[in-house]
Amino acid sequence: MRAKTLRHAGPVALALVVAACSHAPPAPPVQPAEPVVAPHAASGTYDLTTTLPSRQPSQTSRGRGRAAPVVTPTLDLVYRPVAAPDATAGSNTQFAATLNLPGYTRAPRGRTGQAVVWWPLPGDSVIVHFQPPQATGLVDLRGTLRADTLSGDVWYTSPGTGASFQMGKFRAVKRKK
C-alpha cells in the first residue's frame, strides 16, 4: 500500500508546486486618465454672451424713474479652491468663481456678481455650477475651452426629479490683461 501512495504522491506534489508558482497573467496596463484643463490656464475674467431668454429686471431703478445701469454679463474663474464646497456640485475639486448673468444671478451689495463654483473635466471641458436666486434648481454652464474662448451649453437640473434640460448656449471670451 505504501508503494501505491508514493506512486500518486509524485504527480500531486508536482501539481502543488506548479500551482504555487503560477499566478494570474499581469493586468493590462492602466491607461492614464485623460488630462484636464489646467485651472491656472482657465482662470481669468471672461465677457459672456448667451442665448438664454431675457429675465432682466425692470429698466427703472427702484421706482425712481431712472434707467438702471446696463450690466455686462461676466464670468470670473479663479484658481483658488473654495473654502466651503458646494454639496450640490458634481465634483469634490471646486474652485471659486463669480458670475454676473442678469436675470439669473444676484450679486450681494458691493459685489460684481454671485459667488459660484467651477471645476475642470477630462479633456478640455469646464463646468460652472450655481443656483439661481429665485429658483430651486441648479444651473451648469458646460463648456469647452479653446485658447481664450469658453463655449458650450447652459443646463438646468430639477432637484426633485433630477431631470435636466438645455436652456441655451453660452460663449465667454477671456479679457486681455
CA atoms of 160 and 50, how far apart (whole Å): 26
Question: For residue 116, which of 175, 174, 145, 76 has the smallest C-alpha distance?
Answer: 76
pLDDT, tens digit, for every residue of 6-19?
455 555 444 444 44
Hey, is 3 helix, strand or coil?
Answer: helix
Q: Which residue has the cell 471670451?
A: 173
Q: How many residues does the chain have?
A: 177
CA atoms of 25 and 22, how far apart (whole Å): 9
Fold topology of 39-57+70-174: Lipocalin (2.40.128)
pLDDT category of residue 72 using cuts at 50, 70 and 90: confident
What pairing do the DSSP bridges indicate for beta strands 164-174 and 95-100? unpaired
Indicate the domain borders of the chain.
Answer: 39-57+70-174
The pLDDT assigned to 99 comes to 97
* Contacts for 1 with CB less than 8 Å, ≥ 6 apart: none
Three-state secondary structure string covering 9-61: HHHHHHHHHHHHHCCCCCCCCCCCCCCECCHHHHCEEEEEEECCCCCCCCCEC
pLDDT, tens digit, for every residue of 117-176?
999 988 889 999 999 987 789 999 999 999 999 999 999 999 889 899 999 999 999 998
pLDDT category of residue 59 using cuts at 50, 70 and 90: very low
> Whole-model pTM?
0.73
pLDDT category of residue 38 using cuts at 50, 70 and 90: confident
pLDDT category of residue 45 using cuts at 50, 70 and 90: very high
pLDDT, tens digit, for every residue of 73-113?
999 999 999 999 999 898 999 999 999 999 899 999 999 89
Please state, in angstroms and as integers, the Cα–Cα distance from residue 156 to each residue in 10, 11, 88, following that order: 71, 68, 13
Question: For residue 95, which of 110, 111, 115 has the smallest C-alpha distance?
Answer: 115
The pLDDT assigned to 25 comes to 45
The pLDDT assigned to 61 comes to 47
